[in-house]
Amino acid sequence: MILLLLSALLAVPSHAAAPTVKDAQAFMDGAEKSLDALGRRSAFSSWIQQTYINYSSEWLASDADQSYSAEAARLAHAARKYDKLDLPADLKRKFLLLKLTVTSPAPPDPAEQKELSDTKVWLEGTYGKGKYCPASTTTCLTLDDMEDILKDSRDPKRLAEVWTGWRTISVPMRPRYQRFAELSNKGARDLGFKDTADLWRSGYDMTPDQFSAELDRTWLQMKPLYEARHAYVRRRLQDKYGKDVIGADGLIPQQLTGNMWGQSWENIYDLAAPPKTKPAYDLTERLKANKYDELKMVKTGEAFFTSLGFPALPSTFWERSMFTRPRDREVVCHASAWDVENGQDLRIKMCIKINSEDFVTIHHELGHNFYQRAYEKQPYFFRGSANDGFHEALGDTIALSVTPEYLKTIGLIDSVPGPEGDIDLLLTKALEKVAFMPFGLLVDKWRWDVFTGKTKPEDYNKAWWALVQKYQGMKPPAPRSENDFDPGAKYHIPGNTPYARYFLANVYQFQFYRALCKQSGYTGPLHRCSYYGDKAAGKSLGDMMAMGSSKPWPDALEAVTGQRQLDATAILEYFAPLKAWLDEQNKGQATGWKAE
């Protein structure tokens, strides 16, 4: 009798109804409201932590980050109950974006959630406070100081010293970064991803493997241009420093590139300049001669956007941004743009120097701010760019339009150089843009292999330098070992900022630029185009930016360019005159390098 009664009870259907589309919509409405509030709190806390680095600000940032990460992970985990529903396209997209909200999702265990947040804040703070203190002096050098030395010095021993000195700051990060990767992977697996690499590569409207293949395909499109420029500059460096310093393996010592990571070479223009030529103008000197200060630099960047029809930045931007390094406290000087309150409180954080590099960087960062404001009316999960590469590309699309014609228009130069100066201008740009491409690829290739377990903790540094050699064709000034942690000497590793977006941005910006030039009616050489003041170009950009992340990125790309695929042909078109010139210069010279 008892058995019959139990059987009857077990046969009774559950009162828990299967979830419906209406339930999913209600869940999503609550999730957006919750994360919007927590995200605002985290943004304010992070701003304080990065502009007032101390124990208290780090505690506040960690606590806010933990709260946001834990809630995002909880919601993403709870959202899995709606995975099998046939949802409307917009709602389905929001559920995917929910899972991708946090770059390092928190594990389900509260103690590990706190450990993850503390570790992330510690890593970023350690980088921000990093200094090199030479034994020969009582004066410690900041990263700014060392970047100036790499930019200006032509003493190979001094360059090697500061390059190596900066990398002492990342050695203590190694065990903490290993633990960070373990905890982040736990959180990613809890959301249904294989690991953090799988999560990061799932935000591009294609499978992770397809995304990796797209990056490789695009790199191969432009690799010949990089190799031609590499061979030419290597020979010029050998002329300066001699074969003993350069070596016979075809690799360029990274410290000789004028940049701490070899990601941009414009600081060694004087060594790479075409023989017997003199630049038509020095933008850094023109900025100083025209009495540009930090504020005027930013105002000029804003004026480019307003010339396209965008409204001016709010007064709070000028009141709350950080434009210079404070003298009374530690800060993270790495340039960044902030949307603290959904387009209502936009800021940038920089330690601006009056030079051409920061002039371009300001345009880049303001691109983030204008994009952030353009999509402010979108729902929470659609307040972002079509993919993260779009966000990085916008400001640089504007910066490509900073041509001699534009500089004359705003009074920074007196006359526009003739075509005879084109090689000079293109080489200068290539030392920045083309030099960056392999570095933009390798940072996340290293990180993805760490997250997947392909690269073991005992091989962190070996794997890093294998990628540097393969893609950049560079080497360190002296042998490195596993006692070092050289990836941690680049902000985006301890700062946990995905980096493939910068590679994408370097390609998208030329696609955007070429399309906007055509829309403005320009028919000359691509590198000479400026659409400053063109309201039609501004509308085209603005309409795309207002879409936010509500549509797949090929839709957003098509809206401006008519293309639906990542395509490096715009880069090749832009630099075509330079490539022909480099090939002529490199005749009879070996290109490429030997990578172990």
Which pLDDT score is estimated for 596?
A: 67
Q: What H or E segment, with its residue span, contains residue 395? A: helix 388-399
What's the pLDDT band for 15 if we cut at 50, 70, 90? low
Tokens 């902030």 found at:
338
| List of residues 6+ apart from 361 with CB closer than 8 A | 335, 350
User: Which residues are catalytic, by number?
Assistant: 365, 492
What's the pLDDT band for 7 if we cut at 50, 70, 90? very low
What's the pLDDT band for 565 if we cut at 50, 70, 90? very high
Tokens 């330079």 found at:
578
> Cα angle vertex 95, ends 204, 337, to 5°?
60
Say what the pTM is.
0.88
Handedness of CA 325, 331, 334, 340 (dihedral sign): negative
- What percentage of the chain reaches a pLDDT higher than 70? 97
pLDDT, average across residues 107-129: 93
Decide: 526 and 572 in contact? Cβ < 8 Å: no
What's the pLDDT band for 425 if we cut at 50, 70, 90? confident
pLDDT in tens, 339-387: 999 888 999 999 999 998 899 899 989 999 999 999 999 999 999 999 9
What 8-state DSSP symbol labels residue 337? E
pLDDT, average across residues 5-15: 44
pLDDT in tens, 35-88: 999 999 999 999 999 999 999 999 999 999 889 988 998 999 899 899 999 999
Q: How far apart are CA 210 and CA 197, in angstroms?
A: 13
3-state secondary structure of 179: helix
Confidence check: pLDDT of 434 > 70: yes
Could you list the beta-strand ranges (E) of 127-177. Answer: none
Which pLDDT score is estimated for 418?
A: 83
Residue 11 tokens read as 């046969």
Q: What is the DSSP string of 266-293?
A: GGGHHHHSPTT---S--HHHHHHHTT--
- Calculate the CA 154 to chain-centre distance: 29
- What percentage of the chain reaches a pLDDT higher than 90? 82
Rounded to the nearest integer, the mean pLDDT of the chain is: 93
Confidence check: pLDDT of 135 > 50: yes
CA atoms within 13 A on the CB side of 255: 23
Q: How far apart are CA 144 and CA 287, in angstroms?
A: 20
Confidence check: pLDDT of 12 > 60: no
pLDDT in tens, 144-160: 999 999 999 999 999 99
Which pLDDT score is estimated for 9?
A: 38
pLDDT, average across residues 496-519: 95
Q: How far apart are CA 405 and CA 528, in angstroms?
A: 8
pLDDT in tens, 220-260: 999 999 999 999 999 999 999 999 999 999 999 999 999 99
Decide: 390 and 396 in contact? Cβ < 8 Å: no
